[in-house]
Amino acid sequence: DTEVTQTPKHLVMGMTNKKSLKCEQHMGHRAMYWYKQKAKKPPELMFVYSYEKLSINESVPSRFSPECPNSSLLNLHLHALQPEDSALYLCASSQGLRGNTEAFFGQGTRLTVV
Amino acid sequence: EDKVVQSPLSLVVHEGDTVTLNCSYEVTNFRSLLWYKQEKKAPTFLFMLTSSGIEKKSGRLSSILDKKELFSILNITATQTGDSAIYLCAAQNYGGSQGNLIFGKGTKLSVKP
């Protein structure tokens, strides 16, 4: 199983809503990532978790709150987002932050903030 | 500052053509280089290259890394319309401010029938 599963696939939310994006993998990977991708741009790293601990936070606004409840799950909690936060949010995982291993991406959640 | 530069940014070819996509990198503590194909949503993994001069092949796609000159190429032979996509190159380092992957801007390939 080389799959990273993200839910929901699409999400429309208002600026006052609270929602969560979910990511799951069962490959035994210990590093998990959130990326944000705007149209016609490459993915931009948001957060990195290594062994369920936040390893990197790329100066992401606090209205995005990641959570790693266990080694298979990664959540991204959203609150008071802005229309410019509309983007494709990609989750990825890899065996770890050391060694030569590729990252596997989920299909993404297409988020629209209205 | 770590960077990955891809060229060309976009390319239009006809079915049956052979294309070469370029990726150069300047990355501290370089570990490996990865190629991804992105159609409508998530990037799909194509190749990971860690050693210079060793070609990796998968069907009509092949890729090679030159660690001395700091670049990689992705070749696609006998292109098909299904090859139309954005091809992303990413350099992987041993940590650093960008985490594990530093992406280029991508090459948008359009294959016309």
In tens, the pLDDT along B32-89 reads: 899 999 877 678 889 989 889 999 999 999 999 999 999 999 999 999 999 999 999 9
Give residue A2's pLDDT.
63
Instruction: Kindly tell me if the per-residue pLDDT of A16 is higher than 60.
Output: yes
Q: From its phi and psi, is residue B78 left (phi > 0), alpha (psi between -120 and 50) or beta?
A: left
Q: How far apart are CA B20 and CA B41, in angstroms?
A: 23
Termini Cα distance of chain B: 41
Give residue A6's pLDDT.
93
Tens of pLDDT, residue by residue over A26-77, are 999 988 999 998 877 778 889 989 889 988 777 899 999 999 999 999 999 9
- Yes or no, beta carbons of A42 and B44 under 8 Å apart: no
pLDDT bin (cut points 50, 70, 90) of residue B97 is very low
Tens of pLDDT, residue by residue over A82-114, are 999 999 899 999 887 665 567 788 888 999 999
CB atoms inside a 10 Å sphere around CB B95? 16
pLDDT bin (cut points 50, 70, 90) of residue B96 is very low
Q: How far apart are CA B83 and CA B108, in angstroms?
A: 10
Give residue A35's pLDDT.
92
Q: Which of residues 46-85 of A touch B (CB under 8 A)?
A: 48, 55-56, 58
The phi and psi torsions of A59 (rounded to 5 degrees) equal 55, 45
Give residue A1's pLDDT.
59
Q: Quick one: CA torsion of B98, B101, B104, B108, rounded to 10 degrees?
A: -140
- Yes or no, beta carbons of A103 and B100 under 8 Å apart: yes
Q: Is A27 on the interface with B (CB under 8 A)?
A: no
Strands A53-57 and A109-113: unpaired
Grouping H, G, I as helix, E, B as strand and the rest as coil, residue B83 is helix
pLDDT mean over B87-93:
88
pLDDT mean over B16-35:
93
pLDDT mean over B78-107:
81
- Yes or no, beta carbons of A97 and B100 under 8 Å apart: yes
Give residue B101's pLDDT.
76
Give residue A10's pLDDT.
92
Q: Is B36 on the interface with A (CB under 8 A)?
A: yes
Grouping H, G, I as helix, E, B as strand and the rest as coil, residue B98 is coil
Task: Give the gyration radius of chain A's Cα atoms.
Answer: 13
Of A31, A102, A106, the CB nearest to B45: A102
Q: Residue type for B102, please?
A: I
- Yes or no, beta carbons of A98 and B97 under 8 Å apart: no
Among candidates B22, B30, B38, which has minimal Cα distance to B83? B38
Query: Cis (ω within 30 of 0) for the bond into A8?
Result: yes
- Yes or no, beta carbons of B101 and A45 under 8 Å apart: yes
